[in-house]
Amino acid sequence: MTRLGESVQRGSVLLAQDLSSDTMVRELLEETGSRRYLDLTDLSPAEQAELIGSRAVEILPSVEKLAADIGRAREEGRGLHVKLGIDPTAADVHLGHTVPMIVLSRFQRMGHDVTLIIGDITAKIGDPSGRSSERPPLTDADIAANLAGYRDQVKPFFDFDKVRFRHNSEWLAGITLPRLIGILTQVPASSLLQRDDFRTRLEGGHGLTMSELIYPVAMAIDSAEIDADIELGGVDQLLNMQMGRRVMEIYGMEPQLIATMPLIEGTDGSGAKMSKSQGNYVGLRAAADEVFGKIMSIPDRLMEPYLRAWTEWSDTEIRTVTGRMADRSLHPMDLKKVLAGEVVTAMHGVEAAMAARAGFTAQFSKKSFTEVGTLPEVDLAEHGGETVAAVLTKLLEFAPSASAARRLAKQNALRLVLETGTGQHASVLTESDALRPLSEVAAERLGGVEEPVEGVYLKAGRKLARLHGA
């Protein structure tokens, strides 16, 4: 059995146990966390290709071709040459940026060679992928500033001591006009204009610059210059990476394989991808408690894609826990705490993960919320006539808008919690409840409780407020 197979076997045993137990969760985090450094060179070419394919949206032309190329490279006594291009467009990095880095780490540990292309030339053009307008180009000073912190932030997910860094200015800065024209004459304009974002802009009466049209070709030249065997990138980079295959053929080379990575949805559950502009991200500079809390705030439906994106769990293990949730032998809250622990473990270590878990439990999962520190308060005599959504948005500022408050209700993240002598009784508020007066909703929920109520709380996601006068 392979080293990974043995670890999965141990992990599967742990996942069948009581995942509300701190002791059991610690053992699990230690086991799965250690996989981030596990030597994977004993996997067969087919097993390696399957492991990469399991976390990709698509492998082009196929997973079988990837396995064959790994096998051929192994016979030649080498690894595949794996490429990831980085345009240093921001100083701060968030969890969404780590998705391809985690897959790159697997390639490293399987014995392959990784090159990170720092797009100091292409960053000055600006990647137009998915944009409704031209992105302002970066200066040399911008690029230098953004690169400065990137390595330290991503380091927990990737071994930078075993990677080659190349700046595409090494070849793009010196490319001659005749050489560039020679390449462009073999690239149909239609292949550049088929992009949805370009068509949308043209149909809306907005122009395109020549620099934007050339960007995919410039990025593709990178693949040819370093003779890449396979390139990784977000699924939104597919057309750019396919251009890499085309340009490599123009160079007379075997075209690279492509592995597209998923774009992970942000923590707010709105459907938008994780991004700083949306405010739905987990920053890699964030403290352990903040990371844990943000993961705990996600809707339950995001647990599986997050497990796939940011853990080293196998498909078998993920099926185990989703099956346990389906048969109700595992509570979703317990699995979400494990997921939050996995992310914190990757960024800060197991001890920090367990401390964040204990802190979260103390603040949000205690038998009595009276043990929690200062909470915002709502006086029902003064504000009870306002709708739940209005209280959440205008008074408590727990949600940015009424639609966001209704969305919380849709995600079963809006609750009225009653505390009695026997514990907490949480009542899920529906979308229609969010549009009703708060005092009316509270009275309705209190009406069915026979024992004395010691406290009433409004809970939106992981935010909590105490209600007075209920």
Q: Kindly report the CATH number assigned to the domain that includes residue 41.
A: 1.10.240.10
Give domain status of residue 372, yes or no. no
What range does the domain containing 256 cover?
Answer: 56-261
Note whether residue 6 is domain-resident: yes
Rg, C-alpha atoms of the chain = 26
| 3 state DSSP class of 21 | coil
371 domain residue, yes or no: no
Host H or E run for residue 317:
helix 315-326
Length of the chain: 470
Residues 119 and 144 in one domain: yes
Residue 79 within a domain: yes
Angle at 129 between CA 108 and CA 61, to 5 degrees: 50
> Of 304, 333, 365, which residue sits at a domain end?
365
Chain segment 118-173, per-residue pLDDT in tens: 888 866 655 544 444 445 566 777 777 777 777 778 888 888 888 898 989 999 99
Q: CATH no. for residue 434? A: 3.10.290
Do 86 and 200 share a domain, yes or no? Answer: yes
- 341 and 287, same structural domain? yes
The count of domains in the chain is 3
SS3 content of the chain, % helix, strand, coil (to 5): 55, 15, 35
Are residues 39 and 153 located together in one domain of the fold?
no
Please report whether residue 340 resides in a domain: yes
Statement to judge: residues 269 and 180 lie in one domain: no
20 in the same domain as 141: no
Looking at the domain assignment, is residue 172 inside a domain? yes
> Final residue of a domain: which of 261, 285, 302?
261
208/160 same-domain check: yes
Each residue's pLDDT tens digit, 322-359: 999 999 899 999 999 999 999 999 999 999 999 999 98
Q: Where are the alpha helices (DSSP H) in 16-118?
A: 22-34, 45-53, 63-75, 98-109
Segment holding 276, helix H or strand E: none
Are 353 and 430 contained in the same domain?
no
Predicted confidence band of residue 226 (pLDDT cuts 50, 70, 90): very high
* Residues 86 and 170 occupy one common structural domain: yes
Does residue 370 lie within any of the structural domains? no
Which candidate, 346, 342, 355, places its Cα nearest to that of 306?
Answer: 342
Residue that is last in its domain, among 236, 261, 286: 261
**Is residue 136 packed enough to be buried (19+ CB in 10 Å), middle (13-18) or exposed (0-12)?**
exposed
Q: Is the same domain home to 86 and 232?
A: yes
For residues 151 and 14, what is the distance between their CA atoms, to the nearest angstrom? 34
Same domain, 126 and 236: yes
pLDDT class of 310 with cuts at 50, 70, 90: very high
Helix 315-326 with 332-348: angle, nearest 10 deg: 150
* Residue 177 and residue 314 share a domain: no
pLDDT of 62 reads 97
